[in-house]
Amino acid sequence: MSADPSHFPHAPGDDWLRSQLAAFGVTLEAESGLGLRSPHAGELASVAPEPGVPVLRRSPDGRRRRSVWLLAAAVIVVALAADGLFVLNARDTPLGPVGNDNIISENPDDVENTQPPITTPAPVDVPARLLATDGSLLATVSYRGTSLTDDIDAEIDRLGAPRQGETQMNRRSWC
């Protein structure tokens, strides 16, 4: 078998390599409990009375490794969840880079200073025509930033039309 030199040309240097491998094997044997020194043989015999009986065998090391994996998975899930919340928050409150003029302060007192002021459009004269019920033009009124109703009432007073509160019949008769 392996003793045939034609198959294994053992060169000088191989002796050293084989001696190192043999020394390595001694340490490997000691660290792994190979052979009759293995504690698992007795463990198997103690937990399973007969062949064919299900064996539930978990070493403390195995449980510890499994716990470490579960803990790592939990940390990853929490990190992903936190990242998702951060993304949602960032989408709701868009923050620009530092130094950007678009930064919106979280202080509500600064809102007026940072947001553009809400301006009212300049008042313009709005003409309105006062028509009689038959469609004839009674007068043209205009208002500027005040109630159109007041302007109409004033014009009605000027024309001598019935005042507010008078009956609709009177108004219709006036028209």
Partner 1 sequence: MTFDECAARCGSRLRAGLVAVYGPEVGTEAAADALAYGWENWPTVEPMDNPTGYLYRVGQSAARRYRRPQRYLPEVAAPGLPDFEPGLAPALEVLSEVQRVAVVMVHALGYPLTEVATTLGVSVSTLRTHLRRGMDKLRLALEVEPHVR
Select from 57-65, 93-101, 142-150, 162-170 the region that touches partner 1 (CB under 8 A).
57-65
Q: Are residues 128 and 151 in contact, defined by beta-carbon separation less than 8 angstroms?
A: yes
Give min distance, CB of 78 to partner 1, in A.
21
Which of 16, 113, 160, 165 touches partner 1 by CB under 8 A?
16
Contact between 40 and partner 1 by CB under 8 A: the answer reads yes
Nearest to residue 130, comparing CAs of 169, 99, 171, 87? Answer: 171
In terms of DSSP bridges, do strands 126-131 and 137-143 run parallel, antiparallel, or are they unpaired? antiparallel
Select from 36-44, 115-123, 134-142, 148-156 the region that touches partner 1 (CB under 8 A).
36-44
Contact between 99 and partner 1 by CB under 8 A: the answer reads no
Categorise residue 145: left if φ over 0, alpha if ψ from -120 to 50, beta otherwise: left
Contact between 57 and partner 1 by CB under 8 A: the answer reads yes
Select from 34-42, 83-91, 92-100, 108-116 the region that touches partner 1 (CB under 8 A).
34-42
User: How far is it, in rounded angstroms, from Cα 41 to Cα 48?
Assistant: 11
